[in-house]
Amino acid sequence: MGSVIKYLLGLKDPSLVANFQKFCQIEILPGTESEKKDSESDYLSSSSHDSHVPNGDLHQRLAKTNGFVQNNSNGVINNEHCSQNGSIHSNNVDHLENVQKDCIQSEDKQETKYIVHSKFLYWTFRLGAGFGNEFFYLTFFTFCLWNLNSLVMRQMVIIWHAGMYLGQAAKDIIEWPRPSSPPCARLENRYLEEYGMPSTHATVGVIIPFGLIIIGHRHYEFDFPLPLIVAFFWATVCGLSRIYLGMHSVLDVIVGAAIGIILIPLMLPYVEALDNFQVTSMYSPLVVVGGEIFLLYIYPNATIWNTAKGDTATVVGIGAGIAVATWLNYQLGFMIPSDVAKPYHIPSLFTLISMIPLAEVRHLIGILVLVITRAVAKPVTHKLFCLYYNVDSKDEETQRKIGMEKPQKFAAYFCVGFAAIFIVPNLLRPLGLMRMSFYTEM
């Protein structure tokens, strides 16, 4: 057993990440902070620098004819702000002291430079990484809800919700850093403030495609081989993208995928009953919203602040909003069970193609409504919670200390989830743009 544990822990080694990057035609170059100007003059063919990078991460991209070179700051920089998981925090002395206690004190001031030699692999893995971000959820989930089958999506979202919550909570309990750079190169900065173990991208990369296929097969007649091939490709590219981009160790990805593999068979027997409860029970809003708030309340506190807690509040807020909106549709008499026997037949290819224009119009209008909802809900809920907690709306450090981020994000994304299932369909319905079978999917 000891040798097995030792082997598994060995999969945390960042050199494995670097080796995979090299295998995928990323050339990792030596270089130090003191060589920065020389390196720029050698490699810079067009002076293009990113003026700002999300989460405050120092980021610089250098163009080159045979690919591109990118520098990622790592360790202690000139202003002595320590880097936690590669992200730089400043202007908050108290927070900075807490960060420094937990940081790896890297004094070498090295940057990891690299050249991407295969643009095909680069964009393939960029696409795979996109399967786990907010933009993908906003577009893919809503397209399936409004244009395919909302019942299948609701049941899949229950499993996705559980996987995201467990994965994000595990990150803040285990607190393992992301792979160090060097030796690997970091091609992405988006999630550097979060811990690495496990990879929630790998978790949802398994749950979404395989969950949709298995749940969908309960309601529709189709052959398994082609969908399974697509699902396997989806999960593989999504998981490997995290290693390719230098964001996760091999062990992070394996554990993340394992969570998805375990959750699907564990939850599948119960998703229909859970969905039926959240749609039809008079106690559904109380139980669902109360349960989601309880999950946020017991969410573990990390040693230092990071974005995982807010991301989790986003997930549970969306889940609660979808549940309450579906319940309200049912209570108002909008939803009536279908009298067509299952499994349903999938329409012919010609019929599906003919449905695309209306589906796109429906989706574009719906997305516009959600974008407006999000744009209004975020500042409004932020202002309301600042008033409730009696804190300055610009004092982010105090807001973090009192835990305002969780309820604020929960409320904002509850509105987004609610709008997706209640406002958008009932706005499109009188216009003759809504899929009427949407109201029979229960």
pLDDT, tens digit (0-9, with 9 covering 90-100), for 177-201: 888 888 888 888 877 778 888 999 9
Q: What are 311's two structure tokens?
A: 């991301």
Question: Do β-strands 67-73 and 59-64 pair in parallel, antiparallel, or remain unpaired?
Answer: antiparallel
Confidence check: pLDDT of 425 > 90? yes
Residues contacting residue 394 through CB under 8 Å, at least 6 positions apart: none
Query: What are the two backbone dihedrals, phi and then psi, of residue 87, each rounded to the nearest 5 degrees?
Result: -105, 150
**119-154: per-residue pLDDT in tens?**
999 999 999 989 888 888 888 999 999 998 999 999
How far, in Å, CA of 91 to CA of 133, rounded? 28
- The sign one gets for the Cα dihedral 152, 157, 162, 166 is positive
Residue given tokens 């091609």 in the structure block: 187
Look at 415 and 105; give whichever has higher pLDDT: 415
Between β-strands 220-221 and 344-345, what pairing exists: parallel, antiparallel or unpaired? Answer: parallel
Assigned token pair, 23: 């295998």
Q: How does residue 98 score in pLDDT terms, banded at 50, 70 and 90?
A: very low
CB 362 within 8 A of CB 146: yes
**Does 105 have pLDDT greater than 80?**
no
Q: Which pLDDT score, from 0 to 100, does residue 113 have?
A: 84
Question: 130 phi and psi, to 5 degrees?
Answer: -65, -20
Residue 57 has pLDDT above 50, yes or no: no
The answer, yes or no, to whether residue 71 has pLDDT greater than 50, is: no
Q: What is the DSSP letter of 91?
A: S
pLDDT over 70 at 172, yes or no: yes
Q: CA-to-CA distance for 17 and 247, rounded, in angstroms? A: 9
pLDDT by residue (tens digit) across 375-393? 999 999 999 988 888 888 7
Neighbours of 353 (CB within 10 A): 10
Q: Quote the pLDDT of residue 108.
A: 38
**% of the chain with per-residue pLDDT over 70:** 81
Q: What is the mean pLDDT of residues 361-379?
A: 94
pTM: 0.77
* 13 to 75, 183, 212: CA distances (angstroms): 18, 10, 34
Q: How far apart are the first and last CA of the chain?
A: 47
pLDDT at 31: 60
435 three-class SS: coil
* In the predicted structure, residue 17 carries a pLDDT above the cut 50: yes
Average pLDDT across the chain, whole number: 80
Question: pLDDT value at position 403?
Answer: 77
pLDDT at position 111 is 59
**What is the pLDDT at residue 340?**
77
Q: Does residue 318 carry a pLDDT above 60?
A: yes
The pLDDT score that the predictor gives to residue 83 is 41
- Tokens encoding 324: 């309450």
Question: Lowest mean pLDDT: which of 125-129, 211-215, 226-230, 391-395?
Answer: 391-395
Q: Which residues are catalytic?
A: 201, 248
For residue 282, pLDDT over 50 is answered with yes
Whether the CB-CB separation of 209 and 44 falls below 8 Å is answered with: no
Cβ burial of 321 (10 Å; 0-12, 13-18, 19+) is: buried
Q: Is the model's pLDDT at 61 over the cut of 60?
A: no
**In this structure, are residues 196 and 248 in contact, taking their beta carbons and an 8 Å threshold?**
yes
Query: Which pLDDT band, with edges at 50, 70 and 90, does 363 fall under?
Result: very high
Q: What pLDDT sits at residue 229? A: 94
C-alpha pair distances (Å), 403 with each of 291, 408, 411: 18, 9, 14
pLDDT at 32: 41
Query: What DSSP string describes 334-387?
Result: ------SPSSEEPPPHHHHHHHHHHHHHHHHHHHHHHHHHHHHHHHHHHHHHHH
At residue 290, the pLDDT reads 93
